Chain A
């Protein structure tokens, strides 16, 4: 096969689009893990709920913007409710207990969506953001929207974390929960905020996936549920910058892999091959800031010790 520069550029662009979606989903998982050391599998269920709310509200109201905002608010709230009624009562238990509960919620969400909206899923009554343009590579308007949305959301999150009191409290709690608490930070409020933001991001990703595929299905969270897990492992277990970089890298690797490796290696297995390599060579994750006090070093064994902040 001759080397085709145009194709290489197209694939890089596709990789960035993939990566932007992965980042929006994985960030919430990393945030929950960073704060509570819980593997929040139900997060992928919230991603699916986001997609469904997006389609239902768009079809009912005709406004895609309204649907997007509604999805982020509703799913953000759902995330808070999951924390309040599922994780909070079992924080003193080892994290695998919360993990089991989380898998249960994930399955309940999947089957719930199936029972309410049917086996075949839903589609938009009119396709949203149709068409494409050509600038270096061919990009669909919907794909451009994914990247723009990711940039806007992550910029907003960074500004929030650096320049607002609530944001600083949140950062302080993630790195030093006991210290933050002794300085008067309300841990519970921080956790609610954490779940709201992470879930809203997943909802945004869900809505954009609905637009890209023109379909939402009960099981649309299945792939993100484990791929996001691989991303946060590669990214350094709760390290947010690391998670973003890992998501982008994985998106790009997958884009090339889908074309050049598809006969030998499944697209989804690329993520896990990378995860296994990272676990073997650098178990704290590629981007972990090693050695920091109370820091993000993490071992599998932690899964069996009581959660962080069990007794706030």
Chain B
């Protein structure tokens, strides 16, 4: 049978339309905004990395449930840096080249974050470090932001707690040999004289150490009236446990990195009374904070600690900036981030000229086996970040 030419043309048009239909349908559904996330989800950083990813997913899910950003859903693309700097650069290139992310939240540690930062700066992709303390990161360039206070700032807060709030004058300082530990102690030493605190002795230990018998024997001989102990739950837990087992009863003050419930589990009864400069205000009545804490516990089966809260806050800041910029244009997004002034789960945040965060430190104390609210350090002059 011969098909008339006109019908043939109609057929061709029809087929073409049919072929294009799915494309047209796709074009109507809004493209998701891709947000990259760097974290150590295997290897030695895995505990923090996985907690941070879970926290950021909560923020993304909440934003999507509320209709996304400017009508577009958010999509999180997570890459594992294994806690290693050599993994960070290829990972950054994949995020930029393959995933085409518009911005990145990093829950990577200092070393991998420091390695990835210049790659994102060069590509002009905003990069928000949630937990990396390495001072160099924000100095890499104007697309770098940090929502955690650098160690020096928190160390100053620690000195205020020791000298002003506890009224102690003779401190022994324990430095964990990491970027974080060293900067914390630098800040503590800088501010200590302001609060009449004398540092009778300083010890350093490695992140691999779990047995502190020799240090504790020496601390006993130093006879301090307070101990400022930097470290993480996996060093601080055994440390506090062993300090108390050796019969030392003076107060122990530490940084936010002890804020994991695991610290209390490891140290057991010995953890009671430990005071930390935290990022989570466990006494808060703000609904969005309560919601986050409950949702995190529901999803992971564990209590949120500083890392999770800071990662969540980084996501809050980024989502707000995306909304404010009303665009995914990197330049507009950067400007919106610079103007950040927002209440998050870690309190009200703004950035200074160097894109270091300005925020107060809620204090927490261990009572009856849990972290509980214990006041706040909000002397914003003392807590001025570097510029």
Contacts and interface: CB of A to CB of B under 8 A. Distances in A.
Query: How many A residues are at the interface, by size bracket?
Result: 35 or more
Given A17-B213, A127-B268, A223-B208, A266 B177 contact: yes
Contact of A219 (B44, B260, B266): B44
A267 B221 CA distance: 20
A138 B214 contact: no
Interface stretch (B152-160, B240-248, B290-298, B319-327): B240-248
A138 B42 contact: no
A131 B245 contact: yes
Contacts of B215: 258-259, 262
| Interface residue SS majority, chain B | helix
Contacts, number: 111
A161 interface: no
B100 interface: no
A167 to B, nearest CB: 32
B63 interface: no
A15 interface: yes
Contacts of A132: 245-247
A255 B268 contact: no
Interface in A74-106: none
Contact of B246 (A17, A140, A213, A254): A140
B86 interface: no
B189 to A, nearest CB: 13
Contact of B203 (A127, A138, A262): A262
A6 interface: yes
B205 A267 contact: yes
Contact of B205 (A119, A123, A262): A262
B214 A256 contact: yes
A137 B177 contact: no
B211 A18 contact: yes
Contacts of A220: 210
B47 interface: yes
A152 B177 CA distance: 36
Given A119-B47, A214-B241, A14 B205 contact: no
Interface string B42-56: 101011001000000
A298 B371 CA distance: 55
Interface in B195-212: 202-206, 208-211
Contacts of B262: 120-121, 123
Nearest to A263: B204
Interface of A: 4, 6-7, 10-11, 14-15, 17-18, 111, 114, 119-121, 123, 127, 130-132, 137-138, 140, 143, 209, 212-215, 217-220, 222-223, 254-256, 258-259, 262-263, 266-268
5 contacts: A111-B42, A123-B262, A131-B245, A215-B234, A259-B214
Interface of B: 42, 44, 46-47, 50, 177, 202-206, 208-211, 213-215, 217-218, 220-221, 233-234, 237-238, 241-242, 245-247, 260, 262, 265-269, 302
Given A14-B213, A256-B214, 8 more contacts: A111-B42, A123-B265, A212-B238, A212-B242, A213-B237, A254-B214, A262-B203, A267-B205
